[in-house]
Amino acid sequence: MDVKSTFLNRDLEEEVYMVHPNGFEEQGKEHLVCRLKKALYGLKQAQRAWHSKIDAYFCMNGFERSPSEPNLFVKISDEGDIVISILYADDLIIVGNDEE
């Protein structure tokens, strides 16, 4: 599954500033910068923000993170059903043994 908006609008944990994009400068205020409140595609912090968000979601829903591979999440139900999810950038591979 490809998550289209993975790196957009994720909360940032640190302060990030950027110059105005070309064409969006206000005359007389070209020296000012923008403070980002959310992650943008291409921002170095976007991948980390996405991973922390999806990690929190998986852990909140009963998945356990692999101790040897931080992008591998496993959930085993009491009935023996298993769901495995692997995260790679903005792609998720989800497999399980229950057809439903």
Domain borders along the chain are 11-96
What whole-number distance in Å separates Cα of residue 94 and Cα of residue 100?
13
Q: What is the pLDDT along the chain (100 residues), one digit of tens a residue?
A: 445 455 455 666 677 777 777 887 778 887 888 777 766 655 666 666 677 788 888 999 999 999 999 889 999 988 889 999 998 777 788 899 977 7
**pLDDT recorded at residue 74:** 95
**pLDDT recorded at residue 25:** 76
Bridge partners of 75, per DSSP, are: 83
**Residue 38: which region, alpha, beta or left (left: phi > 0; alpha: psi -120 to 50)?**
beta
With contact defined as beta carbons under 8 Å apart, do 76 and 82 qualify?
Answer: yes
**pLDDT recorded at residue 65:** 92
